[in-house]
């Protein structure tokens, strides 16, 4: 296989793993959602740290803590991804897989809105239309739900800010080091949360048996693996490929919510989702158009 083919394989594998998370969380439903997140942090950190030691990148890992500007953005990334994990696991555990998938469908729209506000990027007409459609879709879904889709909005906003923080790093920190530093910073929060949970309920790790406990640990490892696959893909394929592959994760989550978990999908909700999908199709068309125009600009003259 050439490098491009390998990159596509790595990228698809990453998004397939992310898309399967509702099934993984459902298998871990014997534990409280907030306990699941604690072990996700602890074992995610443990796996990342072991990989750093194995690949002899410990010096690079430590160097992040000595660079205040990098550390500020990674700290912001850690905080918002912690919120994202808590909300996502809670959503899946309590039968809101469809709304969680909506959050990742509207994430690209939120991302370009954040880029406009914080990075001062200018949107063209098609991008404005996409964002506007996404906003109307949220209003339609708010009427259907009887309230704004808080789960979807929180997931989209937190992941959008996470992407913004990573953008500010400018590629100066590898995916592995960034993930491990993030989980390092989250360890104290995770331990405090674990102590609090132990005071009000039975902790399932260790108590539920070997198999379930290994499952909780494996979820932490699964958090790191797709990030490493994604990093490998990003080095081998154009960013435009990654942009289109990202829709695989919410699509899989949507199908799981609809067919496996059989969550209700009334007509008004279909309308809201369809508006989001239409907005994304416009965004994708615009991305292809811009990519084609750039290709013409750099094409050699015959």
pLDDT tens-digit readout, 36-75 = 999 999 999 999 999 999 998 899 999 999 999 999 999 9
Among residues 28, 78, 52, which one has the least CA distance to residue 187? 78
Average pLDDT of the residues of the chain: 89
pLDDT tens sequence for the chain (302 residues): 678 888 889 889 999 999 999 999 999 999 999 999 999 999 999 999 999 999 988 999 999 999 999 999 999 999 999 999 999 999 999 999 999 999 999 988 888 888 888 877 788 898 899 999 999 999 999 988 899 999 999 999 998 898 888 878 877 888 889 999 999 999 999 999 999 999 999 999 999 999 999 999 999 999 989 888 887 787 787 766 777 788 999 999 999 999 999 999 999 999 999 999 999 999 888 888 877 776 554 444 33
pLDDT tens-digit readout, 206-228 = 999 999 999 999 999 999 898 88
pTM (2 d.p.): 0.91
CB 149 within 8 A of CB 268: no
* Longest CA–CA separation in the chain, Å: 74
Q: Alpha-carbon torsion 263, 269, 275, 276, what sign?
A: negative
């Amino acid at each position: 296989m050439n490098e491009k083919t390998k990159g596509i394989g790595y990228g698809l594998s990453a998004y397939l793993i992310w898309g399967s998370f509702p099934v993984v969380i459902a298998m871990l439903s014997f534990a409280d959602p907030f306990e699941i997140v604690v072990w996700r942090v602890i074992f995610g950190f443990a796996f990342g740290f072991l990989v750093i030691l194995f690949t002899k990148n410990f010096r690079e890992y430590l160097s992040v803590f000595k660079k205040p500007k990098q550390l500020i953005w990674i700290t912001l990334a850690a905080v918002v991804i912690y919120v994202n994990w808590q909300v996502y696991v809670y959503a899946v555990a309590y039968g809101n897989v469809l709304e969680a998938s909506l959050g990742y469908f509207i994430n690209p729209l939120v991302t370009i809105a954040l880029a406009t506000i914080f990075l001062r990027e200018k949107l063209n007409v098609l991008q404005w239309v996409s964002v506007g459609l996404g906003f109307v879709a949220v209003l339609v879904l708010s009427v259907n739900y009887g309230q704004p889709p808080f789960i979807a909005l929180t997931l989209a906003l937190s992941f959008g800010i996470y992407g913004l923080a990573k953008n500010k790093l400018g590629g100066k920190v590898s995916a592995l080091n960034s993930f491990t530093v993030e989980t390092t910073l989250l360890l104290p929060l995770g331990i405090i949360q674990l102590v609090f949970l132990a005071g009000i309920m039975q902790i399932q790790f260790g108590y539920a048996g070997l198999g379930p406990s290994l499952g909780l640990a494996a979820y932490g490892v699964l958090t790191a693996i797709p990030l490493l696959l994604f990093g490998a893909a990003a080095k081998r394929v154009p960013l435009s490929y990654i942009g289109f592959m990202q829709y695989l994760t919410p699509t899989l989550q949507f199908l799981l919510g609809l067919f496996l978990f059989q969550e209700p999908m009334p007509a008004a909700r279909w309308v809201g989702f369809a508006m989001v999908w239409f907005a994304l199709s416009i965004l994708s068309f615009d991305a292809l158009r811009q990519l084609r125009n750039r290709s013409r600009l750099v094409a050699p003259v015959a």
